[in-house]
């Protein structure tokens, strides 16, 4: 079997088409959705991620504002920046690009962002709402994973799903979303023993470990849907957590890296920003 390749770039473009109409509707009411991006230091990968987010905003006619701060910035200085953006009526969403330098405590920053502007979905209120089954703003990568599964028509209810990775940003929220849709979910991590035996049971396998080519063909159930969240740089090339060349011969569907989950993460961030602006506009007109 050779797997169907899930085209994340095409899925993102389709999403942008729907978002463009929502942006125009907001603008007709005098509201331009605004996203602020905060980047600390000069990590090249982070710079690329932020640039992609800014470009996506601009292509839809949204407002974007970028803050580039030196790697020596203090937590207090960042908190002041976030407080100023929280107070702005024309900024509906903000993100602080991770990772942050060691002197900055990420949790303090992420919890300082007003939950209704937390378009990364990392604030405990948003993560808690997701855990409680009443999602508000969803974390972008997990939301993108679910969007790809739905767009492909992959059955979720009653299926066995395995998520490799238990991070707050990716693994855990993805598992919660799959649970909420009726999958039977196993979450694996670095302490998991016999990973291959568990992944081999998965109808849906989500790899989010940050370990290049961790998932090999022998670990995949024939016909499974394999979603590769990983982004790793090996010899100057981007590779996922899945050994794409061998796994595509076993899986039913598979996402490539790049061009799979990555574009969806950006599209979901923009979708969250538009949603936040719509809620703000709704609240302002009531
Ligand atoms: P993270 O915070 O480092 O978490 C990695 C998780 O994988 C941890 O739970 C870790 O287990 C687990 N893990 C590590 N090695 C493992 C192994 N050999 N077997 C099983 N589990 C293992 O990373 P993250 O932020 O979740 O990101 C994961 C990957 O996705 C990274 O490559 C990142 O660059 C990528 N990413 C991509 C996008 C996108 O848009 N495509 C967005 C976000 C992240 P422990 O908890 O036990 O340490």
- The conformational region for residue 14 under phi > 0 = left, psi -120 to 50 = alpha, else beta, is alpha
- The per-residue pLDDT for 285 is 65
Q: Is the pTM of the predicted complex or chain greater than 0.95?
A: yes
Which residues form ligand 1's pocket by a CB distance below 6 Å? 141, 164-167, 169-171, 188-192, 195, 208-211, 214, 229-232, 261-262, 265
Q: Which helix (H) or strand (E) holds 124?
A: helix 124-131
Q: Which of 189, 205, 260 gets mutated to test ligand 1 (max ligand atoms within 8 A of its CB)?
A: 189
Q: Which residue, judged by its Cα, is nearest atom 34 of ligand 1?
A: 231
Question: Do 97 and 49 form a contact (C-beta atoms < 8 A)?
Answer: yes
Question: Do 37 and 64 form a contact (C-beta atoms < 8 A)?
Answer: yes
- Residue in 57, 51, 47, 75 with CA at minimum distance from that of residue 19: 57
Tens-place pLDDT, residues 205-250? 999 999 999 999 999 999 999 999 999 999 999 999 999 999 999 9
Residue 283 has pLDDT above 80, yes or no: no
Tens-place pLDDT, residues 49-103? 999 999 999 999 999 999 999 999 999 999 999 999 999 999 999 999 999 999 9
Tens-place pLDDT, residues 98-138? 999 999 999 999 999 999 999 999 999 999 999 999 999 99
Q: Which residues in 234-268 are b (16+ Cβ under 10 Å) and which e?
A: eeeeebbbbbbebbbebbbbbbbbebbbbbbbbbb
């Amino acid at each position: 079997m050779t797997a169907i390749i899930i085209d994340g770039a095409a899925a993102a473009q389709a999403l942008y088409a729907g978002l463009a109409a929502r942006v125009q509707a907001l603008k007709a009411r005098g509201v331009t959705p605004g996203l602020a991006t905060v980047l600390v230091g000069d990590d090249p990968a982070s710079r690329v991620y932020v640039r992609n987010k800014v470009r996506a905003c601009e292509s839809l006619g949204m407002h974007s504002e970028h803050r580039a701060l030196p790697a020596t910035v203090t937590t207090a200085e960042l908190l002041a920046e976030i407080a100023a953006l929280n107070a702005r009526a024309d900024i509906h969403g903000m993100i602080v690009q991770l990772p942050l330098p060691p002197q900055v405590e990420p949790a303090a920053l992420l919890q300082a962002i007003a939950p209704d502007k937390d378009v990364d979905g990392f604030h405990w209120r948003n993560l808690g709402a997701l855990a409680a089954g009443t999602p508000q703003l969803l974390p972008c990568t997990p939301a993108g994973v679910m969007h790809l599964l739905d767009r492909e028509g992959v059955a979720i209810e009653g299926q066995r799903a395995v998520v490799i990775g238990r991070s707050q940003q990716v693994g855990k929220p993805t598992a919660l979303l799959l649970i909420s849709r009726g999958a039977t979910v196993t979450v694996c991590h670095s302490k998991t023993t016999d990973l291959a035996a568990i992944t081999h049971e998965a109808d849906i396998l989500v790899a989010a470990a940050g370990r290049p080519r961790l998932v090999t063909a022998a670990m995949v159930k024939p016909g499974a849907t394999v979603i590769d969240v990983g982004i790793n740089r090996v010899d100057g090339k981007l590779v996922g957590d899945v050994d794409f060349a061998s796994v595509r011969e076993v899986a039913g569907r598979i996402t490539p890296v790049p061009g799979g989950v990555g574009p969806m993460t950006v599209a979901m961030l923009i979708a969250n920003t538009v949603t936040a602006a719509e809620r703000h506009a709704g609240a302002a007109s009531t």
